[in-house]
Amino acid sequence: MAVSSGVVARYRAVRERVDAACRQAGRDPSEVELLPVSKTKPVELVRELHAAGVRTFGENKVQEAVAKHQQTADLPDLRWSVIGHLQTNKARDVARVAAEFQALDSVKVAAALERRLQAEGRGLDVYLQVNSSGEESKFGLPPEEVPALARELAAFSSLRVVGLMTLAAPSPEEAVVRACFERVRAVQQVLRDDDRAAGSYDRLSMGMSGDYELAIACGSTCVRVGTAIFGERPPQNDYAHYWPEGPSTS
Ligand SMILES: *Cc1c(COP(=O)(O)O)cnc(C)c1O
């Protein structure tokens, strides 16, 4: 076995902080999934974490998920969660390699996924991505448009809607970040009260390296953590790593 990179120790340290944040919020730590985001990082680190018992990894670009899926085909029970924006021409790849897709934000993408999933004979867990930060991001649906999509998804039997996902505004101000998370919770409540919304809305994927403790205080059930586990990514590309096609220029 190769020399340890320290990634397992960092994963465990983050997991401890997640557990502590849960206790602080009066929540059961088993309610919150820690999803390590391995984007831009070598597959050897995924192997180290897998050997330590970690089974699900997040990637925000489909191409990278496909490559890593192939490079880790020998690892039992490994699951890939695609957490970034999807274009319809990549739906086939997601249908083939992903166990979960967290960034559904249009009927068009849902229809493309449904067609490919039918062909593969598979189902897929999906989160609807909510744009909770306004103009900071061009991905995700504005909160008021989410219920209409949730209703249309009733037509797609291969998609299992499990919850909502968001990226909070990249703000140093806690109140600004908290307001993003609270917008998502408000949408969750609307969907729970809507009999025609497809799926269940028990899961909230909110929180990253810089804001996961706050996200847990605000009800997150899945924190997507890259940097705090895998180390820094090249800074000049960082924005593009959250929003693969670049930030909104509105
Ligand atoms: C990169 C990324 C993350 C992880 O970000 P860190 O700040 O490195 O923890 C979470 N969610 C999405 C959608 C990402 O693209």
Cα of 81 to ligand 1 centre, how many Å? 12
| pLDDT > 90 in the chain, percent | 89
Name which residue sits closest to atom 12 of ligand 1, judged by CA.
Answer: 242
Is residue 52 a part of any domain in this protein? yes
Is residue 231 a part of any domain in this protein? yes
Nearest-CA neighbor of 62 among 41, 96, 93? 93
* Segment 120-167, tens digit of pLDDT: 999 999 999 999 998 667 789 999 999 999 999 999 999 999 999 999
Count of structural domains, the chain: 1
Q: Is the pLDDT score of 19 beyond 80?
A: yes
In sequence order, the 6+-apart residues with CB closer than 8 A to the CB of 16 are: none
Q: How many CB atoms lie within 10 A of CB 9?
A: 12
Whether ligand 1 lies within 6 angstroms of the CB of 248 is answered as no
CA 212 to ligand 1: nearest atom? 9
Whether ligand 1 lies within 6 angstroms of the CB of 84 is answered as yes
Is residue 248 a part of any domain in this protein? no
Is residue 2 a part of any domain in this protein? no
Is residue 250 a part of any domain in this protein? no
Name which residue sits closest to atom 1 of ligand 1, judged by CA.
Answer: 242
Is residue 95 a part of any domain in this protein? yes
Nearest-CA neighbor of 82 among 104, 102, 56, 63? 102
Mean pLDDT value of segment 42-64: 98
Helix ranges restricted to H, the chain: 7-24, 43-51, 62-71, 91-97, 107-120, 146-152, 174-192, 212-217, 227-230, 238-242
Domain holding 205: CATH number? 3.20.20.10
What is the number of H-type helices and E-type strands within the chain? 10, 8
CA 39 to ligand 1: nearest atom? 1
pTM: 0.93
Domain span at residue 147 reads: 7-242
Q: Is the pLDDT score of 242 beyond 70?
A: no
Q: What pLDDT is attached to residue 185?
A: 98
Is residue 62 a part of any domain in this protein? yes
